[in-house]
Chains A and B, each alone.
Chain A
Amino acid sequence: MACRFEVVIEATDAAWARAAAEQALAEVTLWHTRLNRFDKASDISRINQCAQTRPVRVDGELFELLALCQRAGQVTGGMFNPLLPTGVKDSNSSASGACIAADGSDQMQRRSQTAVAAPVVPSLLLDAEAGTVQFVDSDAIGEVALDLGGIAKGWALDAAADSLVQSGVSLALLHGGTSSVRAIGTPPGMNGWAIQVGDGSAAPALVAGRERLIVHLADESLSISAHYGRPEGHVVHPRTGLVIHPDRHAGPEMAVVTCRSAAWAEVWSTALLLDPGLCAQGEQNAPHEQARFAAVRNTSAWNVCYGSNVGSNPAATAQLAATL
């Protein structure tokens, strides 16, 4: 997953806490191994190799994750889709990479050779009885591949958090690459683990004039999606299969979402980055895994899509603080 995972545990027994942390991080390692599409021994590589032409059998855990991906595609109107044209990889890593505005319209810079703006979106065909997965509707855009990206990180964090809870941990904070966070419990005297969202600049201090966002997490997760991170961009528009250039996107520059599960937080932060109007749709279509708090930032201002520090979701409090 190309990032550092860390866990903080409150405990009185250091040996026990270390063991709990090791088990949690072992879950991260396990899922990294299974979901890494660049490792030819991974489950994802095996699926990518065969699922274009036939159903591929997977175990119950991976099936559950793929079902989550399928559901995520449905509730986000296709704004989350881990099934992408394989040309994206090439375009993303080469000088002639494809760049496109977030709305997929008139700011397109270059097209990948294999990724075209196709109206047909490939999807997963899951057979619960047989425990198989197959790619469907992929013919129109050529070869496709699963790239779970952020949801893999969220899924691994969820597995790690579950491991901690099973071990008896009641207060902990985990993160993967700082953009995915999962909290267990609430620190005494606080209304959650306070997480300050950075502004994406290289400077450690926040830029004057830009709002600072602090989110309090209590038994929930936070995900941050942004266009920056790589000079040529890294967010792929699922409807076009093209990489969005960080300087040429039309929508928000960053999206922050809290959900109970880290995997769902990843889904919604990715989808809202591409289409902020999905907030309401999320509330309607994913009642059990809806984003409890969501905000997007355009240039310097945060816009809270929904959720606040009052009302029916006190656990998902958020504070919009003044600038430095």
Chain B
Amino acid sequence: MLDLSRREFIASSAGAMAAVAILPDLAGAARTLAGPVNIAIVGCGRQGRAIITELAQLENVKIVAVCDTEQARADGASKRAQNAEAFTNINAMLEKVKTIAAVIVATPTHLHKDPVVAALAAGKHVYCEAPMAHTVADAKAIAAAAAAASKQVFAVGFEGRSNPVYKLARTFFRSDAVREVVAIEGKQFQKTSWRFPSSDASRDKLVNWRLDKDVSLGLPGEWGSQAFDVAMWYTDKVPVRVRGYGSIRLHSDGRTLADTVHCEMIFADELRMGYDASLANSYETRHELFRGANAAIKLAWTHGWMFKEADAATQGWEVYANRQRFHNDEGITLIADATKLASQGKLKEGVGLPYTSLYYGLYDFVSAVDSGKAASCDGAAGLRSTVVAIACAKATAENGEVTINPADLKL
């Protein structure tokens, strides 16, 4: 029998719930898959570059091809990916590199559909960055193509679903620890123009697609959709209507999309999620907050905390949990893999994730390809969250309210 002190035993028990929720080993060693997975990346901008960096941390994954309509970016990605073959046309890539098993699509949101559908039609597994598309029609076309390719893995990059801290917190959320959820908040702030400089004026519109109201979902879509998806995943609910308000508070540089927004998702039972985002200030960066009658859970991608109410039942282990002070409140740190760490006396080392949220999303996808199991966010779930994001973007552009059409949520 293990020689554990009472304190260690209780600390270990505290992590029991965590242990069942966590799939990745958080010890820091490289993830190893059973067999080699050959991957192609379509879209070699900033997100494509980040994907290459994260994939390098996965053993048995090889980037065999990269594709971008701009030759220079494809060449740059090739260099970063150990000289993967570079293409400017996805069909040429799929035709030539027969060893590709999976395709990761990181093009601008409004350019997701064609490469996703082409890759699925070619029999490849596909990871599509979130949100899936900028229109309901495109999102449904992608989801339909994924459904038709039932033997292939299709994953959408709503990263909360594969994030160990979020998965752990969800087990608390759905237990008696939080009880009735009374309000949900999501926030994301970063002082940035969201503009990309281009040395070629003719390419400015293409490069700055996020500021183009004809193709961009703006802050509600490009940032907010991740938070909306977390809320819908936690509650298993889809809002019936959304409201949005937006204005340009700082970046009066000719843009027409709001740089500061407030959105509201309203569920059938009148539960509401408020979402605020701004490009004018960075304080508090990005987080979600679930308020319940027993406790609140705050999530900030690599970290999570639970704030218990004074009248909530004591479960014993909280006394020994790691805590963090927030002004007048004290949060219990949600630590992934807590059982293992507690048994080693290393509970504090578990605070914060050792990898980025993107890493866990990619790991989830590649693991699904490797094992044949479904990814954490499939086409149906991705469609629902994308449709809500599109509605929020529309409401924000109109400073009004949009009713979610239930037909849009289904294929």
- Give A residues with C-beta under 8 Å from B: 14-20, 22-23, 34, 40-41, 43, 45-46, 49-50, 56-63, 131, 166-169
Contact = CB atoms under 8 A, between A and B. Distances in A.
B53 interface: yes
Contact of A57 (B59, B198, B352, B354): B59
Given A59-B52, A59-B81, A46 B197 contact: no
A61 to B, nearest CB: 5
Contacts of A63: 82
A41 B79 contact: no
Contacts of B312: none
Given A22-B193, A41-B355, A167-B197, 7 more contacts: A18-B195, A19-B196, A40-B28, A59-B55, A60-B80, A131-B82, A169-B197
B81 A19 contact: no
Contact of B56 (A40, A50, A131, A166): A131
Given A15-B253, A41-B356, A50-B29, A23 B56 contact: no
B302 interface: yes
B281 interface: no
B81 A60 contact: yes
The number of chain B residues touching the other chain, given as a range, is 20 to 34
Contact of A168 (B195, B198, B353): B198
A60 B82 CA distance: 6
Nearest to A170: B199
Contacts of A20: 197
B354 A59 contact: no
B57 interface: yes
B254 A15 contact: yes
A41 B353 contact: yes
Contacts of B193: 15, 18-19, 22
B197 A16 contact: yes
B192 A22 contact: yes
A60 B79 contact: yes
A62 B30 CA distance: 16
B199 A168 contact: yes
Query: For chain A, what secondary structure do more than half of its interface residues adopt (helix, strand, loop), or is it mixed?
Result: helix
A14 B79 CA distance: 33
Contacts of A58: 56
Contacts of A59: 52-53, 55-56, 80-82
A34 B352 CA distance: 16
A162 B52 CA distance: 19
A19 B352 contact: no
A153 to B, nearest CB: 20
A41 B30 contact: no
A168 B204 CA distance: 12
Contacts of B81: 59-60
Contacts of B53: 34, 43, 59, 61-62
Nearest to B56: A59
Contacts of B82: 59-60, 63, 131
Interface string B176-212: 0000000000000000110111111000000000000
Nearest to A48: B28
A5 to B, nearest CB: 15
Given A46-B57, A60-B81, A167 B199 contact: yes
Contacts of A166: 199
Interface string B49-88: 0001101110100000000000000000001111100000
Contacts of A45: 28, 354
A46 B193 CA distance: 32
Contacts of B199: 166-168
Contacts of A131: 56, 82
Most buried by B among A14, A23, A57: A57
Interface string B298-325: 0000100000000000000000000000
A45 to B, nearest CB: 8
A62 B59 CA distance: 16
Nearest to A11: B197
B37 to A, nearest CB: 14
B399 to A, nearest CB: 24
A15 B57 contact: no
Contacts of B52: 59-60
A168 B253 CA distance: 19
A59 B83 CA distance: 11
Contacts of B56: 57-59, 62, 131
Contacts of B254: 15
8 contacts: A15-B193, A16-B195, A16-B197, A40-B354, A41-B302, A50-B29, A58-B56, A59-B53
Nearest to A64: B79
B302 A56 contact: no
Nearest to B200: A168
Which 10 residue pairs spanning A and B have beta carbons closest together?
A: A168-B199, A167-B197, A15-B253, A59-B56, A19-B195, A60-B80, A20-B197, A19-B197, A49-B28, A131-B82
Contact of A41 (B198, B251, B354): B354
A58 B56 CA distance: 5
Contacts of A56: 30
Interface string B80-99: 11110000000000000000
Contacts of A46: 28, 30, 57, 354
